[in-house]
A and B are shown apart, each in its own frame.
Chain A
Amino acid sequence: MVERFGRAAAPGLARGPVHRIVDRTEIARHGGTPAEERSALEAAIAVASADLVSLMGTSEEDGAAMLEFQLAMLEDDALREPALSAIAAGSDAATGWKDALGIQIDDYRASGDAYFAARATDLEDLRDRVLGHLVEDGAGETIAPGSILIGRDLTPSRFLGLEWSKGGGIALTEGSPSSHVAMLARSRGVPMVVDLSDLPGEAFADAIVDGDRGRLVLDPPPEELDRFAGSQAEAAERVGQEDAVLRLPAHIASGESIAVLINVAEPAELAAIDPAICDGIGLVRTEFLFHGPAGLPDEETQYRAYRTILEWAGDRPVTIRTVDAGGDKPVPGFTIDGESNPFLGTRGVRLSLAKPDIFRLQLRALARAAEHGNLKIMLPMVTVPAEIDRSAALLDAAIAELRAEGIPCRRPPLGIMVEVPAVAVVPEIFGAAAFFSIGSNDLTQYTTAAARDIAAVAELGDAGHPAVIALIRNVVTGAAKLGIDVSLCGDMGGDPRLLPALIAAGLRSVSVAPPLVGRVKLALARISGEGT
């Protein structure tokens, strides 16, 4: 057995036969005459184009647009010209192609613009797809459904080309949880681990990927297989128990009720969710609107999206957060490039206030949508009370504009995320906020000075640290003195191990990822609530 830990990139547990992904950039080809090499390259490009066409036919819209772009690039003579020149000068087809694409990939990567830099991955994807056909006699690798893929990295187009409905998992020595392929894995429910150190080179038959803990086990011994089977049985049993409580109101053992709300990243998620499972939406992340192919969203697009969410919720409260770009969430054309320390830089409400034209459109769209439900607006990364005052003034101005234009609107309450220690230490000076919502992820990161995405310090960034709990207790007490509501919308609220501490700290409202609602309701019912 070989066990390795990396970073969790997509949750879940999978077991299957090992398929090692061939690192195509490291295979050399025995060159023929220039004419043979030229026709080999043209043939590989033709097969790669045919691959992309058939992938496009089976991909959802997000993947299809990317594939269409790749196809257009691949079919453009200008892409292959440098490689053909190198072949004419004596290079073999694989080296000629790899070197020619390498120059263009480096050029994109060096681009100052984040959007164009990201296109380097598309070219890498193309390079590897063509190389695969050059060195493998055009057959390509066949990967059995349900396999655990192991290798250096995996391109999005190869991910899309595989059959995932029969299970399977991914374990990579490089890669990142924020890569395109990790996003695809999460949306398809494929467990994935990245950033694994030194995988042994020998052959392995069987593997288990634990995408929750970032763990890979190669050739698991019987006791590991038993544990895997046990976990699967447990998971199945848990699903049954969770379903049973899903639509019931949440309470702790004493009978005191607890509000359980959901966090939503985009309206499309709601289609599959029954509003009866929750007491409302505690957090709508609006960043999805700012990452579309059309660039920054206009007022109408935003209004329609917010209205859809409010109409789904009916009478239930919906807290929409103004755009929280910056930090680890750059948005081309909006966030500030090249800040030395983006997590301590112009992000959240700081960025919105720095770009009032963009903020104004979002506030107008929100005030218009407020006509259609029970909306609250939430400001991220507030650090001083003046940020609330300045945002409130912009909201008032937006409403005055809308009224002057005769457009129906309403002024929603304006509350804040509590995620900067400067707020959590002295919540009583933030009485201008209509409500508090504790953002436990950033509060933990800023309190422990440890980023979750840096593996070496991730263990320090523990939301269970007594300092984080003490700050949360302080926020709950401060909110009570101010007579305003407080909730918590970070990952902590969905963690059964940390819920007792939150309840003990006086918190009575949490907002969690929709798949966790049942788990949280079950865990709450087991908490005594004493010691508050």
Chain B
Amino acid sequence: MAGGDISGGKAIAGSVLLTHEVGLHARPSVKLTKLAKTFGAAIQLGTSADGPWIDAKSIVKVMAAKAPQGTTLHFRAAGLDADEAVAALVALVERDFDEAGTQAGHG
């Protein structure tokens, strides 16, 4: 399962509705990719259940998805901590990227 390729079929998957008003914009993308990089698992993000899949650790690719509000974000991950990674990313989106209480500190 190395190299970020997780199309093999044994991936952990999860999905969550993006409620953020302007979609997956700069600050949410920074938070999402930073969190993804804390896991060893390869993690991918798709804006539909069938992909196309992009590397959830790359802010360039996450921003390029230009996901608007109301998109269902799909995650799939493979590797040792894949379960935790998907759960953590889904929870981050559910918490609306912790932006309700204004800014978070820089990590």
Contacts and interface: CB of A to CB of B under 8 A. Distances in A.
Interface of A: 56, 61, 64-66, 68-69, 72-73, 76-79, 104, 107, 111, 113, 115-116, 119, 122, 292-296, 298, 301, 332-333
Nearest to A71: B30
Contacts, number: 72
Interface string B25-64: 1110110011000000000000000000001001111011
Contacts of B22: 115, 295, 332-333
24 contacts: A56-B106, A61-B103, A64-B106, A65-B27, A65-B103, A68-B106, A69-B27, A69-B59, A72-B29, A72-B59, A76-B60, A78-B60, A104-B60, A113-B23, A116-B63, A116-B66, A119-B26, A122-B26, A292-B102, A294-B20, A294-B96, A294-B102, A295-B20, A333-B21
A293 B59 contact: no
Interface in B85-107: 96, 99-100, 102-103, 106
Q: What is the predominant secondary structure among interface residues of chain A facing chain B?
A: helix
Given A56-B106, A68-B106, A115-B22, A76 B58 contact: yes
A294 B66 contact: no
Interface of B: 20-23, 25-27, 29-30, 33-34, 55, 58-61, 63-64, 66, 68-69, 96, 99-100, 102-103, 106
A65 B63 CA distance: 16
Contacts of A292: 102
A466 B98 CA distance: 53
A292 B96 CA distance: 14
A214 B30 CA distance: 38
B58 A113 contact: no
B63 A73 contact: yes
B88 to A, nearest CB: 18
A301 B22 CA distance: 17
Interface centre among A72, A119, A292, A295 (most CB of B within 10 A): A72
Contacts of A296: 21
Contact of B60 (A65, A66, A79, A113): A79
A66 B103 CA distance: 12
